[in-house]
Amino acid sequence: MTIATLGILTSGGDCAGLNAVIRAATDAAVGRGWRVLGLRNGHLGLLANPPDILPLTADAVRGDLLRAGGTILGTTTKGDPFAFPDADGTKRDRSAEVLAAIRALGLDAIVVIGGDGSMRLFDRLLTPAGIPWVGVPKTIDNDVPGTEFAVGFFTAVEVVGQALDRLASTAASHRRIMVTEVMGRDSGYLALFGGIAGGADAILMPEFAYDLDAVAAHVRRVTHDRPSPVLVVVAEGIKRPAEERRLKGSVGTAITEGLQSRTGFDARCTVLGHVQRGGSPVMFDRLLGSAFGARAVHVLAAGESSRMVAWRGGLVTDIPMTEVTTGPSFVRADSQLMRTARRLGTYVGGAVTTS
């Protein structure tokens, strides 16, 4: 496989560290004498006429790009090319147009920076077409199978931890329960890591069933049944309490109201939302992005394709895409940090949920 022109794109939700990957992949590719084209707005840029591209050079990625949040290429979570929504509400397959644009641009290989959904999409799109590609995992949810950590995760953990630091002081001042809702639709990694780092008294995750009466009893126990500062972290993907399912508002608000009614303690909810995605990446995300971007180019130069770079056991490696396209990964009940949380006396729920 001879590569003269490399395409790079970001796909799915944004996070910190994406630009570090773009910088590293560009530098590594230019160092091999390859031309590099940034593909704007994920696959949507390839559906534009003409395709929306940004030529990338070593000079273009110098300076503060490593430190910058977001992605200079733009990204998208919409417009599945296999079922692309038209203005009239119908859907049609535009995947052939994406492939035609790739060939028209003369791209010999592509680096896809995305989450587990993006890996499945581009594996379905590129692998059957014989277009060489390598995936780079990124997500604040840290739920991409096959890698211990994904780009953007530790910056989001830092945001959650710092939020808990700030909420702890106001909780202490007013002797309140402070509930913090974090992202995590299917997986609770962000809630677990951020909750432990921020000293949470209870952490509720999608993977594990919880009993709000048991959470309230835990709160009363750790506070000796008198108003005291309490920190509770809630992943957005947990099930709402049964009695709260008809109420509007976030799941964090539902947990807050349920705890207040059960304990008699004043309670407040903070939904962190998109602040978890933005901002300058922490050092580990810069390191991870740099290592992943360089490795992706190395894999392609070695003639490999349909693989994803990964962090395993403190080493950067790469794995076949068949190990990645199995759906999101989940927090395991017997994982090291789950054991850590229990040893700390943190409420983390009970049996693993199956639905």
Residue positions annotated with a catalytic role: 141
Whole-angstrom Cα distance, residue 85 to residue 90? Answer: 6
334 contacts 352 by C-beta, under 8 angstroms:
no
Beta bridge partners of 5: 35
The CA-CA-CA angle for residues 298, 306, 141, to 5°, reads: 90
Q: Which residues of 109-137 are buried (b: 16+ CB within 10 A; e: fewer)?
A: bbbbbbbbbbbbbbbebbeeeebbbbbbb
- Between the CA of residue 272 and those of 22, 156, 164, 276, what are the distances in Å? 27, 10, 10, 7
Token pair, residue 160, equals 């959650």
Between helix 116-126 and helix 95-104 the angle, nearest 10°, is 70
For Cα atoms 283, 288, 291, give the angle at the middle one, nearest 5 degrees: 125
Structure tokens at 49: 């006429």
